Amino acid sequence: MIRTTAFLFSILFFINPQPAQALPQQSPVPGGVAFVDLGINTDSRPMVRYRNDPVMLHRTQNGWQAIIGIPLTAKSGKHYLEISDTKSSSRQMSFIVKAKKYAEQRLTIKNKRMVNPTADDMVRIRKEIKIIRKAFANWTEDYSIPAPLLQPTEGIRSSSFGLRRFFNGQARRPHSGMDIAAPEGQQVINPAQGKVIATGDYFFNGKTVFVDHGQGLISMFCHLSDIHVRPGQELKRGDKVANVGMTGRVTGPHLHWSLSLNNTRIDPALFLAN
């Protein structure tokens, strides 16, 4: 009986060696995530790009599926993927982005340089923008979808993704991450397996860590008080990354968590369990 049970178990494990992967929530709006079935069921992985950046792919029973991050600046209507499933052919496939209007948020910043930087500040900021853009453009080939992610620190989500922001009455770019209010010194953990690709102390973001989770999914943690990892370090899900702080442009201690997919900042809540 024991041998029979073990034999049956081995057959089941061989047929289905791992459970189906969890996926993020689909929300085909600016700042959201769209799923597109590519109609390709080959063994080889196709190359798919959106706005010139490679996109995350998922293999289903019916073939390959693209998981696409949509920028906050995207207009509603048809958007196009560029698909290359062989060396010699390429084609376009469309998907629809729906409109979404985000709320406004007005904040008062005591340090006026954080609203209107000096000329010297701008020299620093431009250098830092290049570093940050390079980190977000990082691509690591992977076949896993790290969903759901862990929320990187406990606390109330104090500032939602996509808010149209005004600092001291002046319009600024929409909020491209999730703010989690938490006491200074509270630990920040890694939401999924990944590799540290950069750390730094930036004018607006303060002390910052970037973690690459694979297939263009990048976490950025900002306003930290202490950093406990180094570039090149491999991290497991739940490993400590840093402590919550209030460095950079802040009104109080909190964690700013940006999540980037195909070099596009998306709503991190879509990758959380709830």
| pLDDT for 87 beyond 80 | no
pLDDT(263) > 90: yes
Q: What is the pLDDT of residue 15?
A: 32
pLDDT band (50, 70, 90) for residue 88: low
CA distance 263 to 27: 17
Q: What is the pLDDT of residues 98-107, one digit of tens each?
A: 999 887 777 7
Taking residues 157-186, report their average pLDDT: 82
Chain mean position to CA 75: 20
Contact 53, 124 (CB under 8 A): no
- The answer to whether residues 121 and 189 touch, using CB atoms and an 8 Å cutoff, is no
pLDDT at 125 over 90: yes
Sheet containing strand 104-107, edge to edge, reads 104-107, 164-167, 170-171
* Cβ atoms < 10 Å from Cβ of 99: 10
8 A C-beta contact, residue 55 and residue 29: no
Residue 193 has what DSSP assignment? Answer: S
Q: Which domains does the chain have, with CATH numbers?
A: 17-97 (2.60.40.1590), 104-271 (2.70.70.10)
DSSP character string of 84-128: ESSSS--EEEEEEE----PPEEEE--S-GGGTS--HHHHHHHHHH
Share of the chain above pLDDT 70, in %: 90
Q: Express each pLDDT in 7-21 by its tens digit.
A: 333 333 333 333 346
Average pLDDT for the chain: 88
Q: How confident is the model at residue 168 (pLDDT cuts 50, 70, 90)?
A: confident
Distance CA 125, CA 10 (A): 57
Check residue 137 and give its pLDDT.
97
